[in-house]
Amino acid sequence: MTKRHTRTWLVTCISSALACAAVSSAAHAESYDMLLSQVLADEQAIIDEQPEGLALVMEAVKTLDNETVEAITAGNPNNPANVKRVEALVSEEDWNYLFVQRHESYTYLNLLKGIGKYPAFCGDYDRDAEAICRKSLATMFAHFTQETGGHNIHDPVPEWRQGLVHVREVGWTEDAAGGYGECDPGIWQGEAYPCGTFEDGSYKSYFGRGSKQLSYNYNYGPFSHSIYGNVEKLLNEPELVADTWLNLASAVFFYLFPQPPKPSMLHVLDGTWQPNDKDLASGLVPGFGVTTMIINGGVECGGSVEIEQSQNRIKYYREFASYFDVPIADDEVLGCAGMKSFDAGGAGALNVYWEEDWGWDPDTPTGDTYKCQLVAYQGPQSAFVEGDYRRCVEAKFDVNIINDLEGVPPTADAGGDISLYSDNTVVTLDGSGSHDPYGEVVSYQWLQVEGNTLDISDAEKEKASVTVPKVDVETRYGFKLTVVDDDGEAASDTMTITAKVIPENFPPTVELAGPESVKATKVATITATVEDPDDTEFTFNWRASNGIELNVAEDNLSASFVAPEVESDTMVTVWLDVTDSVNDPVTAAHTILVEPISTDEYPAWELGKTYVEGDRVTNLGDNYECKEFPYSAWCGVAEVYKPGEGAAWEQAWIKL
């Protein structure tokens, strides 16, 4: 624990400055007692006061446990949802074609594992998840090729397909010492992210490794924590970033994590980041170009002309965008010439690092706040790391934190119920959702409580497993998980595995997706996803509520209709019956709210007009409301934001 520095007191010293100093010294003679519950409450209150962007980032950087990641294999039906989405867009054949000259360490499996570690990459959205995934892949692959490509214009393989040639920065080897490290323990980077050492005591090097060419100990440390829950693993074994699936996970990590005042590339591409006036004045606008500014803006951006490296990235992006059917708008800014750097006044300057709160609190003996605050500049403690707020308070103040939360039980989470067609299938019992917000879960115990007895492997671990046999009748197996925390408090939860009889022919699975609401007289489109392991030919029957006339696509995988005119909000339902070669029809449904045409009259939208939050306009017969700051800065700035028409209008306007 670091001794708190002496604060200058705002008091009147009656006798002398020496007496004043004595008062201050006495006030710091003893540690200040704080309750852990208050520390945690302070932390949550500070986070709650932050803009929504912080919560969105904290959600985006969540990770999957490594055991589940290691279980990922190509084509595995148990792969995470985001991995399945990527597999549908990038097959192993695609991977071999796109990166034909890649280093042998960049395997297709490593790609899937690197993506699987971070569920937000190509994850589900309330927007077009597949379109965002396509654009994310095209963007990331273009940067791969610039960072690690062969760049041989004489090679018969085009340059854009020469990516991932290098797994280590050219000229560096694993036995090289003292490179790319801020290792001095007297500075915060060296203290927070202590460099690993060779046997002779020299520091290891943190040169560029992997598809992102991750560099410096203060980047290896956070990445290590993201993967392993501690900073030491990769600081001591940096070679793992080159030789394992981390060589591609490191790029996904960099894609998702912001570096304030820079936003994350994910939030640039998915529309979450919206530039404010400060960003616009610096030329920072959504598009591929600003992702180059995020990656290497200090070297490649800001000049009067587009330099060669940035031109390469643009060229590669166009090729990958074409390959992945990513449309590039005519007005998308692809380069970064003339762009100024992100700064503290920009929309991406989120406060994500803990720093001392230097304020004044008259209710404490010393006047200190005994709190930390969130700031945008990098420091050793992060809002993304559980427990870092407490570490900041302990580092900045002389405190004694008393655990007043003993006796509060943990939360047990045995995972969701599972239903499957089983043929001696190994099923994981996943208790990783169990937690203790005030301490630590120290023991796990799985017990079967229903059904014929199955052997539980690793019954005393967070994740156990059972082999579910093939059954002749539908059979249930119940399990209970009991967890105990470091105070000896226990809690339990149950889950059920239902083993179903394997049919001679599996029925199809059918899912419908579409808008939740539509204005009267507007077109709504519903799309279908049909999967069946043993049939490829199906009979489709689209149906809808009375009065709805469906226009069914030629491939039967989508249908659209013109929403009827209604006087009040009206629900309509669309159904799809799908029949395979043997089974009865399987039906899916999607319900949409049809809203009446608004009779409110608002002025027409005007190009170049300054709009503020709440301003309303009419365009194409519909009404729109300007979003809150900083999005309001876009409402009248360009045709691309023209409500209902411009390619990016939803970034600035809310349709009423």
Measured distance CA(136)–CA(82) in Å, rounded: 12
Structure tokens at 186: 């007297």
Question: Which 3 state secondary structure label does DSSP give 219?
Answer: helix
Cβ-contact 603, 617 below 8 angstroms: yes
3-state secondary structure of 279: helix
d(CA 316, CA 248): 18
Q: How far apart are CA 119 and CA 96, in angstroms?
A: 24
Partnered with residue 484 across adjacent β-strands are: 443, 490
Give the C-alpha separation, 603 to 618, whole Å: 6
CB distance 204 to 181 below 8 Å? yes
Amino acid at 537: E
Asked if 436 contacts 396 with a C-beta cutoff of 8 angstroms, the reply is no
Of 182, 158, 157, give the one whose Cα is nearest residue 312: 158
Three-class DSSP labels, 105-127: CCCHHHHHHHHHCCCCCCCCCCC
Residue type, 533: P
Inter-axis angle of helices 288-300 and 129-148, to 10 degrees?
20
CA distance 617 to 376: 36
> What phi and psi, each to the nearest 5 degrees, are found at residue 425?
-90, 135
Q: Tell the residue number behind the tokens 């095209």, with chain if given.
A: 138
| CA dist., res. 337 & res. 293, Å (int) | 9
Nearest to 433 by CA among 425, 422, 441: 441
Write out the two tokens for 604.
């027409």
Q: For residue 157, what are the contacts with CB-CB under 8 A and spacing of at least 6?
A: 100, 101
Pairing of strands 32-35, 399-402: parallel
Active-site position among 43, 49, 130, 147: 147
- Per DSSP, the three-state class of 218 is helix
The CA angle 173-95-117, to the nearest 5 degrees, is 70
Task: Give a three-class secondary structure readout of 34-63.
Answer: EEHHHHHHHHHHHHHCCCHHHHHHHHHCCC
Report yes or no: 248 and 106 within 8 Å, Cβ to Cβ: yes
Distance, CA of 136 to CA of 125 (rounded, Å) = 13
User: How many other CB atoms are found less than 10 A from the CB of residue 108?
Assistant: 19
Helix axes 81-89, 129-148, angle to 10 degrees: 70
Is 199 an annotated catalytic residue?
no
Q: 41: closest CA among 361, 534, 380, 393?
A: 393
Cα–Cα distance measured from residue 166 to residue 358, given in angstroms and rounded to the nearest whole number: 46
What are the structure tokens assigned to 7, written together?
A: 């604060």
Q: Which residues are catalytic?
A: 147
